[in-house]
Amino acid sequence: MKNRSDLLTPEFRALSARLGSDPLQVQGPGGNTSIKDGEVMWIKASGTELANAENQDIFVAVDRNAAKAEASGYGDGSCKQTVLDPAITLRPSIETTFHAALDYTVVAHTHSVATLVHVVGPEGRAQAVKKLAGLPFVMVPYAKPGLPLTREILSRVTPDTKVILLQNHGLICCGDTVDDVSNLISEVEMRLAMAERSHQDKPPNKPAPEGFAWAYEGWVAKDEWAMMHAKAGSYYPDHVVFLGPALPSLDEGRWPAVLHEGTGIALRVEATPSQRAMLRCLSDILARLPCDWTLEPIGLDAEAELLNWDAEKYRQSLAASA
């Protein structure tokens, strides 16, 4: 089977890079895009960054039918055995199964801040339903990325579904062309846009703890509402993967960012770009959430699943070496 590298058009690469370069759409190695025709699908490789889509080989070709079979339970869901070129060392995204199973040429999955603001709690989800009225969308409950998420998606989509809101996770937009998907993302973003609350912050007037520097996002530690929710739990998978559970207020020597109540957020000087991006993501979300909306963390069990998952440890290792 030919790998059909012609599918990786400049337009597809440009859309992928644009999404990956916008921290309100994708943070670090998060998110993924795919393009398919017949039996072949190209998808972003695990641990790579969409921002590099135009200047690096971040995509891997897979046997779409084999990936769809894994979505149905024939395999472990990693899709490592579906890669068409055995010489390729990159792994397909852990979310390859839902890309393969969705019957659209182009699929884009982002960790849109505007979407996350709406899908981390009941009031936001209710507002999203109203704001997206008229679009072919569904809301999917939280599930662990990979096969569990794919099964939740497939149990809820119809042949007409083109927009999928993932509770405590993000957004999926599908279409027959790159332009279709690009326009759909823009429409969803416009409808879900939320104003950012003012939170100008001055750095603390005392030195950061040894081995740390004060982060720009330190306003979170000085805003009672934001601080309470930052400490209460994790609201989406990549926060857990790159920052650990919630935002700790004690330095246990494990986590890259530590919240100092009333002072600021201390970030380890060796923090990776991915960890820095995820701290900004938390700040961006908290700054847009209305203070009368409820937030629902994914919970301790879901956090433990992510922290002990080999697929995410692999992605962390690639991000750390980037």
Q: Is 318 helix (H, G, I), strand (E, B) or coil?
A: helix
Helix, strand, coil percent values for the chain (each to nearest 5): 40, 15, 45
* Residue 315: per-residue pLDDT: 53
Q: What residues have CB less than 8 Å from 142, skipping those under 6 apart?
A: 166, 167, 168, 169, 298, 302
- Cα torsion 110, 115, 121, 124 to 10°: value is -170
Amino acid 202: pLDDT? 82
HSE, CB side, 13 Å, CA atoms: give it for residue 215.
29
pLDDT at 13 over 80: yes
Query: Domain-by-domain residue ranges, the chain?
Result: 5-192, 212-321
| 1 — pLDDT class (breaks 50, 70, 90) | confident
- Average pLDDT score over the chain: 94
Longest alpha-carbon distance in the chain: 62
Alpha-carbon distance of 4 to 37, in angstroms, equals: 9
Kindly provide the residue ranges of all beta strands, DSSP E only, lying in the chain, ordered along the sequence.
32-37, 40-44, 59-63, 106-110, 137-140, 163-166, 170-175, 212-214, 257-260, 264-268
Task: Check if the beta carbon of residue 79 is closer than 8 Å to that of residue 37.
Answer: no
Tell me the Cα Rg of the chain. 19
Reduced to 3 states (helix: H, G, I; strand: E, B; else coil), residue 206 is coil
Mean pLDDT on 161-177: 98
Token digits for 237?
Answer: 């998978």
- Cβ neighbours for 156, distance < 8 A, ≥ 6 positions apart: 138, 139, 140
Question: pTM for the complete prediction?
Answer: 0.95
pLDDT digits (tens, 9 = 90+) for 32-85: 999 999 999 999 999 999 999 999 999 999 999 999 999 988 888 899 999 999
Cα–Cα distance measured from residue 70 to residue 247, given in angstroms and rounded to the nearest whole number = 35
* H-helix segments, 59-209: 64-71, 96-101, 113-119, 122-131, 147-154, 178-192
Interacting residues of 250 by C-beta distance below 8 A, sequence separation 6+? 258
pLDDT for 318: 58
Share of the chain above pLDDT 90, in %: 86
pLDDT tier for residue 319 given thresholds of 50, 70 and 90 = low
Query: pLDDT tens-digit profile of 109-125?
Result: 999 999 999 999 999 99
CATH of the domain spanning 5-192: 3.40.225.10
Q: How far apart are CA 318 and CA 84, in angstroms?
A: 22
